[in-house]
Structure 1
Amino acid sequence: MKAKYINPYTDFGFKKIFGEEASKLLLIDFLNALLPEKNKITDLTFKNTEQLGEVDIDRKAIYDIYCENDKGEKFIVELQKAKQNYFKERTIFYSTFPIREQAERGEWNYNLKAVYCIGILDFTFADYEHAPQKNEVVHTIKLKNQNGQVFYDKLTYIYLEMPNFGKAETELATRLDKWLYFIKNLEDFQSIPAIFADEVFAQAFEKAELANLGPVELDKYESSLKIYRDLKGVIDTAFDEGKLEGKLEVAKALKESGVSGEVISKATGLSDDEIKRL
C-alpha cells in the first residue's frame, strides 16, 4: 500500500515536522511532553544548526535542530537513524558547543543557561556494551556524584529508544506516548487515529501528508528516503557482521550509493578529508 504520510526518520521528514518555523508549535509540544512541568517551554527561536570550533583545527558540529527558548536555554534535537560507533560521545561533543558559545568577553561570572541534548534513536542501546535497562524507551541522564546525587542540573541528555516503544493506540496514556506513537507509526497510517483529535496533531498530520508537498519538496523527500534506506541498510549490515571498527568500509559503501559527505560524516564520525580520500 502506498504511503500517505512521510517517514519521520528521514532528514526531510523530521525537519518538515519539527524543524521549520511553521512547525514551532509542534516542536514545543513535543519537548514539553519530555520535560518536567517546571521546565515547560512557552516559545522557541531556531538557531543556526552548523556550529564551528573556535579555531580551524576544531571540528564542526551539524545539528538536525538547534533552538533556544525564551529563557535562553539551548535545545539540540538529533535524529539518529542507524547504529554507529561512538554515538553517545558525539552527543556529548555536540553539547560542548552551546556551552562554549555562552562565554562572554571581559568579566563574566560563568552563570550558564541550561543545555538539553535530545536523541531520537531508530535502534537500541542493546547493541552496545553497558546497555541501560532493557526495553526502556526514555533515558534521562544528568551529571551525578558517587551517591547518585545530581552534581550539575543544567546539562541534560535524553535518549529515546524508539524500537522499544510498543504501545498500542488503546494503551497511550500520556502526551509523550502519543508523540512516540505518532513518530513510530506515521508512515503506516492511512487515516488519522481518533486519539490524535486535537489542533497540534491535526497540524502535524497536515504537514506530514505527502499530497501537500509540492514537486520540489517531493523530490527532496524521495531523495531523503533513499538515503535513509541505504544508510540504515549498510550500517546495520556492518554491525550484524561484527564490523564495528569498519567505518571506512561503511563510509565507502555509502559514498558509492550517492550519500552526501555530510550524512556519511554524521553516520561514521569520519572527517570530511577522510571521506574525500575514499
Structure 2
Amino acid sequence: MGAEGIQDKYVNPYTDFGFKLLFGTTMNKELLISFLNALLFKEEVIKDVTYLNAEHLGTQEYDRRAVFDVYCENEKGEKFLVEMQRGEQQFFKDRSVFYSTFPIREQGKRGEWDYELKAVYVVGILNFSFDNSDAEYFHHEVKLVDLYTHKIFYDKLTFVYLEMPKFNKSEDELDSMFDKWLFVLRNLASLLERPRALQNRVFDRLFETAEIAKFTQTELSEYWDSLKNFRDWYSVISTAEKKGREEGREEGREEGRKEGREEGVREANLNNARNLKQLGVAIDVISQATGLSEEEIEKL
C-alpha cells in the first residue's frame, strides 16, 4: 500500500508509527529531549538520553508483561516512560502506576544496597479527557503528598498527564516551548504549512522528519497500516460513544414517558377518590379501589 490513502502533509503523532518516529528513535532523540525539558523542567536540564528496552517482563513467571511506547534514561540515570494514550481505559491510572514499578524495581542491586533510587517520570499524553470538572485544567502533575502537611512526601516519582483535547491555544498564543510542543502534538496532522511560531532548530528537525512526502516506500507502507489501525480504532470509539448517547437519550425519553404515565394514573386515581368520597363511600373501600393511602384520601 502506498500513499494513495494519505492526504495529510505531516505524520499523525497519535499513530504508533508517528509517535515512535518522532520520539522513539535514536536519530530523533533531540526531539524527545526538547519535549521532556519543556514539559518537566522548563529549561535545558536533560542533556542526553539513552533508549532502554521498551518491553519488560516481571521478575516472576506469573508477572504481567509491559510494553512502553518510549522508555529512556538521562545522563543522571533518571528514568522516563512516555506513553501515548489514544483512548480512555477504565483503569488507565492503575496502568500508569503498574508501569512505574518496572523502572523502579529494575534499579534493585544484588548484594549490599541502601535502596537509593533514581527519579522515575511517567508521562501520559492523553487523546481524551478524564477530568470534566475543569475545562481549562489539562496539565496534571502528580506526586506522593502528605495529606496533613500538604507537602511532597517523595519527589522521585512523578506522573504527568496531558489531556490533549483541552489544549486549544492558537498559534498567536504560544508563549513557551511547552505550549509549542502541545500545539504540535495536537495539530501536526492537520497542518498544511509550518507555523511561524515554530521557527527554531528543534522544530526544523521535527517538520523535516514528519513530512510524509519524504518517507521511503517501506515507511509509507508501515505508516499507512498504522494510520488505518488508528482510524479503525477511532471509528469504533466514535460509534460506541454515539450509540451510548443515543441510548441515553432513548432511556431519558422512555423514563419521561414512564413518569408521565405514572403521573396520569395517579391524577386519575385522585379524581376518582374525590368523587367516591363525595358520594359517601368508606375511606378503606376508596383506598382499595384507587391504591391511594387512607391518609392521602383523608386530605382530599
TM-score class, shorter: 0.7 to 0.9
> Counterpart in 2 of 1:188?
190
Q: 1:151-170 maps to which residues of 2 (within 5 A)? A: 151-170=153-172
Counterpart code for 1:170: D
Counterpart code for 1:97: F
> Counterpart in 1 of 2:121?
116
Find out whether 1:44 has 2:43 as its counterpart: no
Q: Note if contact 2:122-2:160 (Cα within 8 Å) is conserved in structure 1.
A: yes
Separation in structure 2 between the aligned mates of residue 38 and residue 210 of structure 1, nearest angstrom: 31
Which of residues 10, 27, 34 in structure 1 aligns to 2:32? Answer: 27
Q: Note if contact 1:83-1:236 (Cα within 8 Å) is conserved in structure 2.
A: no
How much has 1:234 moved relative to structure 2? 1.8
Separation in structure 2 between the aligned mates of residue 2 and residue 231 of structure 1, nearest angstrom: 19
Counterpart code for 2:31: L
Higher gyration radius (CA): 2
Find out whether 1:141 has 2:136 as its counterpart: no
**Per-residue deviation, residues 217-276 of structure 1 (Å, max 9, x unmatched):** 111101001111122232344455559xxxxxxxxxxxxxxxxxxxxxxxxxxxxxxxxx
Percent identity reads 51
Question: Bigger shift: 227-236 or 50-59?
Answer: 227-236
TM-score normalised per structure 1? 0.82
The structure with the greater share of residues assigned to helix is 2
> Counterpart in 2 of 1:234?
236
> Counterpart in 2 of 1:11?
16
Separation in structure 2 between the aligned mates of residue 39 and residue 146 of structure 1, nearest angstrom: 32
Separation in structure 1 between the aligned mates of residue 44 and residue 151 of structure 2, nearest angstrom: 19
Unaligned runs of 5+ in 2: 1-5, 246-300
Separation in structure 2 between the aligned mates of residue 38 and residue 106 of structure 1, nearest angstrom: 37
Q: Note if contact 2:37-2:43 (Cα within 8 Å) is conserved in structure 1.
A: no
Counterpart code for 1:196: L
> Counterpart in 2 of 1:217?
219
> Counterpart in 1 of 2:274?
none
Unaligned runs of 5+ in 1: 244-278
Q: 1:259-278 maps to which residues of 2 (within 5 A)? A: none
Separation in structure 1 between the aligned mates of residue 221 and residue 209 of structure 2, nearest angstrom: 16
Separation in structure 2 between the aligned mates of residue 236 and residue 88 of structure 1, nearest angstrom: 22
- Give the 4+ runs in structure 1 shifted more than 6 A: none
TM-score normalised per structure 2? 0.76
The total of aligned residue pairs comes to: 239
